[in-house]
Amino acid sequence: MARIDNKARLSENVDSPEVLEEKCLKLVELIKNARCTIVYTGAGISTAASIPDYRGPSGLWTLARQGKIPSTSVNPIASSPTTAHIVLKELCRNGWVRHVVSQNCDGLHLRSGIPRHMLSEIHGNTTIEVCSNCDKEYIRNFDVTVNSGFE
């Protein structure tokens, strides 16, 4: 299978306020009429918190492929949840969203207040340590992977 050129996929489209309102109203209808709503998130939800994505024009992997060293000036641990994170938390709290599945490991969903039992972080979470004896989880305010040997 041939690889698809990513350039068109990577450009960001900003909708007009009218189009955005129309899309939001459609989303509200879909959620209201759903038996069960699961939300799947990726890097885009955290880029507004200045956390770089991996594949975007300034993404970590994109820069690495170009032989450039990505900036380490952004500390995900110091970032705050975005408006989208807070909206998801409220949708969970009010019973409109049953579960959030995230590809992100930045911890912003947890810090937004989404309960742990309503969140699956498929790539893990850089702020959670698990005791190897009892499996208890400890949420830290620092990146636990720094000295773990994982890169």
* Digit-coded pLDDT (tens) for 50-100: 777 666 776 666 777 878 776 665 666 778 899 999 999 999 999 999 999
Distance of alpha carbon 65 from alpha carbon 69, whole angstroms: 10
Q: What is the pTM of this model?
A: 0.76
Neighbour count for residue 35 (Cβ, 10 Å): 5
Residue 123 is among the residues annotated as catalytic for this protein: yes
Q: Looking at 85, 99, 117, 123, which residue is catalytic?
A: 123
Sign of CA dihedral 95, 89, 121, 25: positive
Report how far residue 87's alpha carbon sits from residue 78's, in angstroms, rounded to the nearest whole number. 20
pLDDT classification of 2: cutoffs 50, 70, 90: very low
CATH number for the domain formed by residue range(s) 38-45+79-139: 3.40.50.1220
Pick the closest to residue 47 from 37, 55, 35 (CA basis): 55
In this predicted structure, the answer to whether residue 8 has a pLDDT above a threshold of 50 is no
Taking only the tens place, the pLDDT of each residue in 90-147 is 999 999 999 999 998 888 999 999 999 999 999 888 888 888 899 998 888 888 877 6
CA atoms of 119 and 50, how far apart (whole Å): 22
CA 123 to chain centre: 11
